[in-house]
Structure 1
Amino acid sequence: MNGAISGRTAAEVADSVRALLERGALAPGDTLPPVRALAERLGINRNTAIAAYRQLAQAGLVVALGRGGTRVVGRPGIAQEGYGGDGALRDVGSGNPDPRLIPDPSAALAGVAGRPVLYGEPVIDPGLEAWATGWMAPDLAPADRMALTVTSGAVDAVERLLAQALVRDDAVALEDPCFLASIHTARLGGYRAVPVPVDAEGMTVDGLRAALADGVRAVVCTPRGQNPTGAALTGRRAAELRAVLRDHPYVLVVEDDHFSMLSQRPFHSLIGPDHRRWALVRSVSKFLGPDMCLAVAASDPETAERLAMRLSPGTTWVSHLLQRLVHALVTDEEVVSAISRAGAHYAERNSAFVARLARHGIAASPGDGLSLWAELPVAARPVSEHLARRGWLARTGDEFRLADTGAPSPHLRVTVHDLDDDGAESLAADLEAAVAAVRAGDR
C-alpha cells in the first residue's frame, strides 16, 4: 500500500488515496502508512503528508486514531434533512414546515409571466429587488454599503459565499451543534470546520474567540431559529460577538436568517458597522415552501461582485418567473398575515409540547424554529431506538455535532407542530417510557 500512494503535493497525495479507494485497492478498515514513512518514500516534507491526511479526514474518508494510525472509513453517509426513509414510522424528526400553512400560489401564478427575460439582463427582477431592499436594509448597520444578490435558496447562498472566499483546507467557524447542510458544505468544499459551541443565547463568545485564534477565514452564524437548538441571539450576546469581531474585519461573516418572517424573536446581528466582509442571507423556503428555492443575500459590494461572477446572466441566474412569484406573494397582505399566523402557530405548539414534556419529567426548550431540542437524562440514541419500536422516528443530537466529545449526545430534535393534542400526548408518554427503559438497562 505504501508503494501505491503517489504525489508531490498534499492535493496529489490525497487524490492518489481517493483513486485507490475508487478502484477498490483500499477498503474501509485499511490502515494508511505512517506519515513519516510515507514522506520518506515519496521524498516530500512531513508537513505535506500531514496536510494530505488532513484533507482526507475533512472529506470523511479517513480517521486519525493516534497510535492506531490513520484508518480508511470510506465515504460516510451524512444525515439529510427532511423525511426519513421508513414510511412505517411517524416522522417527528423531519424539520419540515406544515404544508397546511404554506400559502397557495395558484392565484399569484397567473400574473407573474410578463415579458420574456433574455440573456444579459439584470439577474434580479426589479420588483423583487425593491421589496428585498426594504426587507434587508433596516437590519444592517452597514446598509449604505449593501448590495443584493438572489440565489437558489439559503444553502446555495452559503455555499457560493464560502466558495468565493475560501480555498480547500481553509478554516470556517460553524455552530456546534450544527445545521446538517452546513456540515455538508464544509465537507464537500474541503474546508476545515471549527466548532463554536451554542447556548441559549446563540453562538458563544469564548467559542468565537477561540475559532478566530485558530485562523478561521469565515464564520457562519444563525441569528435566530438556530437548527437544531432553536437558539436566538440576544442583543447582549450580539454586541459581545461584534466586539470580538472588531479586530477581524476581513473575516467573512455569513448570517443565515432562514426563519426570518416566521421568527417570534427580534433580529440581532453580529455584523458591525465597520466590518468589511459580510453577508445576510434570508430565504423564503420556510414560509413559502421548501420548493420555493429562492434566497436574498445582502452583502458588502466586494462580496456581491464575487458572487455575481458565479451567477451570470444566461447560465446560473435564478428564474425571473420564480422571483416574480415570490414578490407577488410577499406583497400580498393576506399572504403576509397567513405567514404571521403560521409563525405564531409553530411557537405555540412548541411551547405547549415543552410544557407537556415537563409533566413527563423531560426538559426541553421551545426555542425559535420549526423543531425543539429536548435534553434527556440518558443517551439519546437508545431512546430513539425505543421510540422507533413504538412507531416514532426522531433525530438524535449525534447527527448535528461537529466536535467529537467521546460521549453520546443526550439530545433529541423533534418536530411536533403538526401533532394534535392526542398525538402530542402519545409521543410525550412514549418518550418518558423510552427514557425509563434505557435507565433500566433494557436495550
Structure 2
Amino acid sequence: MSLKFGTDGVRGIANRELTPELALNLGRAAARVLGGSRWLIGRDTRRSGPLLAAALSAGLATEGVEVVDLGVVPTPGVAYLSATDRVPAAMISASHNPFGDNGIKLFSAGGVKLSDELEQRLELELTALSTQGDPRPRPAGAEVGSISVDHRAIERYRRHLVEGVVPAGALTGLKVVLDGANGAASELAAGVFEELGATVVAIHVEPDGININEDCGSTHPEGLQAAVVAHGADVGLAFDGDADRVLASDADGEFVDGDQIIAICAIDRHERGRLAHDTVVVTVMSNLGFRQGMAAHGITVVTTDVGDRYVLEALDEGQHCLGGEQSGHVIFRDLASTGDGMLTGIALLSVMARRGRPLAELASAAMVRLPQVLVNVRTAHRDPGLLARLQPEVTVAEHRLGERGRVLLRASGTEPVVRVMVEAPTHDEAAAVAGHLAASVTALST
C-alpha cells in the first residue's frame, strides 16, 4: 500500500497511485474491518470510476459481500442510502480534484465517515494483504459475494431532497443558475430545484469522463458568477465533482463562500428557534468575520481542526445541528450524515424566498468577511518542532493585529508544508504579516 488515509479517505492519481490492485485489497480489508453482508458503491463521472468501482466491488465480493452498484451518484446520496439502509458504503471520487485523480471514501453503516481508529485498523489490514498475502481460506460456492446494479435507488435520495428539506414549492419565484461541475449532480440537480419551484438555468452538466471540475464548479466559480449576471438570475450555486459542497453567487455576480452560507442559515435557524443550543460548528479556517457575526447575533461558535469529519464529530458530541467549512462543505445534522451541496443550496434559497431578501443583503447582514491571505511554505522536510520554534514570531504578529485580525499556522499532515493564514482589516496588512511569517518559516526550517 502506497496511499494513506487522509481527512477524506484515500486519494491519488488513478491507475498509478490509486490502482485497481489497491482498490481490490481495500475492498477485502473494508469487508473484514467494517463488516456488513451488503455494501453500496457509488461514483462520480471520472473515466477511472468504473475501473476502480469494479476492483473495489471484486474485493468486497471476494469476502462474501453482496455489492450494489449505484452508478453515478453524489456522495451525499451514497451517505443517505447508507444511513437509511444501515449498511456500509463507498464512494469513488476525488471530489474537487482534477479528473486524473480519484479516491475512495468509506462510510460505516449509518452513512458516517470512518473514525481515526477504524482507519488505522483498515490501514493495518490493507498493508498485510498488500505485502504478505492472505493465508486464510476465501469463501467459495454459495458463500462468494454477488455484484448487482441498481441505478434506481438514487430516486429515494432525490425524494428526500424534494420532500424532506423544505415545504413543497418553497423556492417558487427564484431564478437560479446551477453549475454541476460536469460531475455527479449533473443529471439530478436541475430537476430537484425545478420541482421545488425554482426557475433553473443549468451549466456544466455534460460530463464526458474528463471534464469534471475543468474550469467549472466550486473550484472555478467565475463562470457561474458571469452566468448569473447574464441570465438575470437571483442566485447561482456551484457544486464540486461529487456534489458534497456548494458555493454561491449573488445576483450581482459577487462570490458567497461557505462561511457566509453557514452564517445565513445559522441566523435564520436561530431566529426561528431551530438552531440546537444556539451553536454552530466550524473549523479553524473559518474567517474571523464569521465569529464576529455570530457573536453579534448571540450564537456560540465551536471550532474544530480542518476536515468535515471533525465538524461532524463535534456536532454529534454537542448534539448540535449545523456546521461546516469555508469551502462550502456544510452539514445539517438533523437532515443528513455528511455535507450535501444540493441540500445546502435548497436551505440557502429557502431563506431567500421566505424572507423575501436578496442573497447580497442576507450575506452582508450575517457577517463582514475580513481579508484573508493564505501562504503555503514548503520546507526541506517535515519538522515536528518547527511550529514551536515559530511561536515567538506568531506572538509578535498576534500582538500587532490584536482583536482586528487573526494568525494561524498549520503543518500539513501529508507533506513538508506549513500553511500560514493571516486575517486583517485590509488585504495589504494581511499580506505583509503573512509574508513576514512565511519568511520566518523558511529561515527557521533550514
**Greater RCO, 1 or 2 (C-alpha within 8 Å, sep 6+):** 1
Q: Is TM more than 0.5 here?
A: no
Larger Rg: 1
TM-score, scaled to structure 2 = 0.30
Whichever structure has more strand as a proportion of its residues is 2
